[in-house]
């Protein structure tokens, strides 16, 4: 327990001091029963407390947040964030967002992991360089963890003409980026977690649109990535789809540390547009069918890949005569182990609709220490999937039961 109580320096320009606050959840660690009461501790003017190490405490959840209502719209210049001293690393990745109406939020600052900020006596003074206008300021933890802060201060000024011009130019640039994603297509942008994903209403089937709309698309996989990945990891993904898992990984390890392979050339182009729209254009993406190195001598330079109406069901081995297949295209082949070596990957993410057993049963995975995989009985068969799991265990991987459920599993080396 802390043995000192320190009041924040009186500062007439702290816009957040004493203002109404809210947070995403409360839990048994919260000092108050309601989210509003617990959130208010963050802006009451105290840094360290005698009874606990934090002001507020959310539940352990995906993207927990805390926010304050400034009472009027300001141009935010700086946010001073006092992180919890112990367990400060839980807030290693976070985003500060602003809104004038609580309906439309804009990221005004992102911190991508290192160094961990705000655990010292002075907190972290975060300059907000991006043009903005906000009545509500939100701190969002970008990951799966509880959010606990000691205090937050917000500094800014009423906007002038120069601020208005800068904001208008910024909004226009964002609109142009969104237009580039949508250009030539019929659909709309949907939000999945903290990502903006384009839903093509002409090309995506109704089940896919519904999955994207409800926000649960790839939910188990996203939760595993947030729990399992470390900032120093290098991720190789097989099966890009619209890019949600690639970007989730990139938000943790950085886009330069993510490489992804997709056999469907049309959906890969969609993913690349999504990468650009979300600031992850540095993710390296390749259109190829990967094969184990042991098989490459027998593998032709290209292989027929069947495209389904539901892009998540596109696969090898199907034909144009199958009810869901709309096209078969020839895709270049490449060695999985070569891809792992070229990217220096230590994490493998795989969702290839039943192709996982054929690809991985003979693969050399010695460079990999974490596997996140969705398995598909319906496509690969129970025996093949059982053989694959036995291979992982034989290769030295443990099944992490804390993170695995149903057909989405996490295998890790050295689990203790």
Distance between CA atoms of residues 384 and 391, nearest Å: 10
Report residue 175's pLDDT band, with 50, 70 and 90 as the boundaries. Answer: confident
Angle between helices 161-182 and 265-277 (to 10 degrees): 180
Taking the C-alpha atoms of 207, 209, 213 and 218 in order, what is their torsion angle to the nearest 10 degrees? 70
**Do the beta carbons of residue 19 and residue 43 sit within 8 Å?**
yes
pLDDT computed for residue 390 by the predictor:
97
Distance between CA atoms of residues 413 and 285, nearest Å: 27
Distance between CA atoms of residues 297 and 63, nearest Å: 46
| Of the ranges 99-108, 196-205, 375-384, 386-395, the best mean pLDDT one | 386-395
pLDDT computed for residue 6 by the predictor:
57
User: β-strand 289-291 against 284-287: which pairing, if any?
Assistant: unpaired
Report residue 300's pLDDT band, with 50, 70 and 90 as the boundaries. Answer: very high
Q: Among 206, 172, 182, 192, which residue's Cα sits nearest to residue 243? A: 192
Report the CATH fold assignment for 186-413: Rossmann fold (3.40.50)
Phi, psi of 192 (to 5 degrees): -125, 110
Helix, strand or coil for residue 142? coil
Distance between CA atoms of residues 373 and 289, nearest Å: 17
Domain ranges within the chain, ordered by starting residue: 6-161, 186-413
CATH topology identical between 6-161 and 186-413: no
Retrieve residue 351's tokens. Answer: 């969702």
Q: How many CB atoms lie within 10 A of CB 13?
A: 12
6-161, superfamily in CATH? Galactose-binding domain-like (2.60.120.260)
pLDDT in tens, 201-211: 888 888 889 99
- Overall pTM > 0.75: no
- Greatest Cα-to-Cα distance within the chain, rounded to the nearest angstrom: 74
Residue 113 backbone class (left: φ over 0; alpha: ψ -120 to 50; beta: rest): left
pLDDT computed for residue 10 by the predictor:
55
Report residue 1's pLDDT band, with 50, 70 and 90 as the boundaries. Answer: very low
| Of the ranges 87-96, 113-122, 284-293, the best mean pLDDT one | 284-293
Query: Which of 36-40, 162-166, 253-257, 375-379 shows the lowest mean pLDDT across its residues?
Result: 162-166
> How many residues does the structure list for the chain?
416
Please say if the pLDDT value at position 366 is more than 90.
yes
Retrieve residue 376's tokens. Answer: 């598909």
**Do the beta carbons of residue 290 and residue 339 sit within 8 Å?**
yes
Percent of the chain, pLDDT > 90?
65
Q: Among 141, 413, 149, 350, which residue's Cα sits nearest to residue 252? A: 141
**Do the beta carbons of residue 115 and residue 132 sit within 8 Å?**
no
Q: Give rounded-to-5 percent helix, strand, coil for the chain.
A: 30, 30, 40
pLDDT computed for residue 380 by the predictor:
84
Helix, strand or coil for residue 169? helix
Q: For 5-102, where are the alpha helices, taking DSSP H only?
A: 35-40
Report residue 35's pLDDT band, with 50, 70 and 90 as the boundaries. Answer: very high
């Amino acid at each position: 327990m802390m043995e000192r109580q320190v009041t924040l320096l009186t500062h007439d320009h702290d816009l957040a001091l004493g203002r109404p606050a809210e947070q995403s959840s409360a839990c048994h660690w919260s000092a108050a029963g309601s989210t509003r009461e617990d959130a208010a501790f963050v802006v009451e003017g105290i840094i360290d407390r005698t009874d606990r190490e934090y002001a507020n405490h959310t539940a352990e959840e995906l993207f927990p947040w805390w926010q304050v209502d400034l009472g009027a719209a300001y141009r935010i210049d700086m946010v001073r964030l006092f992180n919890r001293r112990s367990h400060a690393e839980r807030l290693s990745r976070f985003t500060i967002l602003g809104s004038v109406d609580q309906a439309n939020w804009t990221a005004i600052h992102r911190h991508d992991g290192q160094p961990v900020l705000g655990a010292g006596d002075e907190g972290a003074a975060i300059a907000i360089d991006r043009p903005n206008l906000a009545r509500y300021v939100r701190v969002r933890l970008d990951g799966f963890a509880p959010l606990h802060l000691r205090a937050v201060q917000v500094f800014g000024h009423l906007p002038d003409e120069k601020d208005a011009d800068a904001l208008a130019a910024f909004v226009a640039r964002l609109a142009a980026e969104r237009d580039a994603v949508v250009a030539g297509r019929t659909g709309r942008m949907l939000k999945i977690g903290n990502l903006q994903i384009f839903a093509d209403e002409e090309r995506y089937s109704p089940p896919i649109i519904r999955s994207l709309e409800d926000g649960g698309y790839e939910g188990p996989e996203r939760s595993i990535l947030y729990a399992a990945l470390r900032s120093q990891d290098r991720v190789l993904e097989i099966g890009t789809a619209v890019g949600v898992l690639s970007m989730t990984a990139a938000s943790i390890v950085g886009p330069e540390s993510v490489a992804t392979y997709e056999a469907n050339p049309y959906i890969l182009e969609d993913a690349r547009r999504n990468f650009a729209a979300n600031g992850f254009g540095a993710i390296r993406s390749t259109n190829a069918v990967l094969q184990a190195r042991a098989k490459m001598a027998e593998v032709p330079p290209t292989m027929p890949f069947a495209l389904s109406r539901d892009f998540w069901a596109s696969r090898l081995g199907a034909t144009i005569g199958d009810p869901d297949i709309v096209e078969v295209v020839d895709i270049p082949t490449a060695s999985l182990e070569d891809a792992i070596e070229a990217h220096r990957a230590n994490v493998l993410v795989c969702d290839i609709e039943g192709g996982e057993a054929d690809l991985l049963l003979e693969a050399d995975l010695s460079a990999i220490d974490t596997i996140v995989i969705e398995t598909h009985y319906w496509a690969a068969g129970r025996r093949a999937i059982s053989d694959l799991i036995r291979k992982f265990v034989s290769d030295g991987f443990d099944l992490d039961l804390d993170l695995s459920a149903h057909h989405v599993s996490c295998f890790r080396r050295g689990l203790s």
